[in-house]
Amino acid sequence: MKKLLFLLIFLLLVISPSQALAEIKVPILIYHSIDEFHGHGSKELYVTPENFEKQMTYLKNKGYTLLTFERWKDISRVKKPIFITFDDGYKNNLNAFAIFKRLKSEQFQPTGTLFVISDFVGRSNRLSKKELKQMADTGFFSVQSHTATHPDLTKTNNIEYELKTSKEKIEKMTGKPVIALAYPYGSFNKKVVEVTKKYYQFGLTTIPEVYVKKGEENQNYLLPRIYVKYSTTIEEFIKSLGTGIILSKCSK
Ligand SMILES: [Zn+2]
């Protein structure tokens, strides 16, 4: 009888759900401008190069693996997966590029995703086609879509243009597939998700949570992202990797 009890306990331990479904938590961070704030626009949409470098250095020292969406399947294979994303395609994202190059080592390969607005590419404060191509070619960045003109997708009459044409234009710029879409203002509804599914493998929101695989339908089109702001301290940054507490909305 005692033997049977031991066997039962042993079996329960071996097949316990917490072990069988070891939870993978993946923070997806969202940035906009990587620059000093000079009084233009919303301050919280900036992160200084100094703070950005501190944050990336923390990830490097703690053994995080920076991924882009082409490597989504690797989230269950690599150590401490994390995604770094930049919305709106600002020219000052070149500062992030310089920091990535500086931090690169044999163990640490920094990569990030630029969500660009296809029809804004080349404006004076945005990255140019040439810069995007260069950034993509180095392997430090994956260039993905943030639509063609940055509308609220739940209100636009041009959803096919915003989703399909922006994808085609960006693919032409970089010569690489566009598989992910960041919804402007984090705004989406059922219809937006349905159209996104036609052209993309991933849809990014601004729901402030760490990604945890739930196996729900459309989960890859409702990916949460944690906002990193001007005022985010390194302590808050570290905390947010586990909880995703820093809430805000994406804007131009
Ligand atoms: Zn945006």
Which residues lie closer than 8 Å to 157 by C-beta, 6 or more apart? none
Taking the centre of ligand 1 as the mean of its atom positions, its distance from the CA of residue 249, in whole angstroms, is 9
pLDDT interval class at 252 (50, 70, 90): very low
Taking the centre of ligand 1 as the mean of its atom positions, its distance from the CA of residue 88, in whole angstroms, is 5
pLDDT interval class at 244 (50, 70, 90): low
Set out the domains of the chain in order of their start, with CATH numbers: 25-243 (3.20.20.370)
**Whether pLDDT at 60 is above 80:** yes
Taking the centre of ligand 1 as the mean of its atom positions, its distance from the CA of residue 53, in whole angstroms, is 22
Taking the centre of ligand 1 as the mean of its atom positions, its distance from the CA of residue 86, in whole angstroms, is 9
Which one has a higher pLDDT value, 92 or 15? 92
**Whether pLDDT at 51 is above 70:** yes
| Whole-number Å distance between alpha carbons of 99 and 90 | 16
Taking the centre of ligand 1 as the mean of its atom positions, its distance from the CA of residue 231, in whole angstroms, is 19
What pLDDT does residue 215 have? 87
pLDDT interval class at 18 (50, 70, 90): very low
Nearest to 60 by CA among 97, 28, 24, 105: 105
Taking the centre of ligand 1 as the mean of its atom positions, its distance from the CA of residue 87, in whole angstroms, is 5
Kindly state the average pLDDT of the residues 76-91.
Answer: 97
Nearest to 91 by CA among 43, 47, 132, 39: 132
**Whether pLDDT at 58 is above 90:** yes
Number of H helices, E strands in the chain: 9, 12
pLDDT interval class at 23 (50, 70, 90): confident
Taking the centre of ligand 1 as the mean of its atom positions, its distance from the CA of residue 163, in whole angstroms, is 14
Taking the centre of ligand 1 as the mean of its atom positions, its distance from the CA of residue 129, in whole angstroms, is 18
| Whole-number Å distance between alpha carbons of 141 and 124 | 21
**Tens digits of per-residue pLDDT, 118-173?**
999 999 999 999 999 999 999 999 999 999 999 999 999 999 999 999 999 999 99
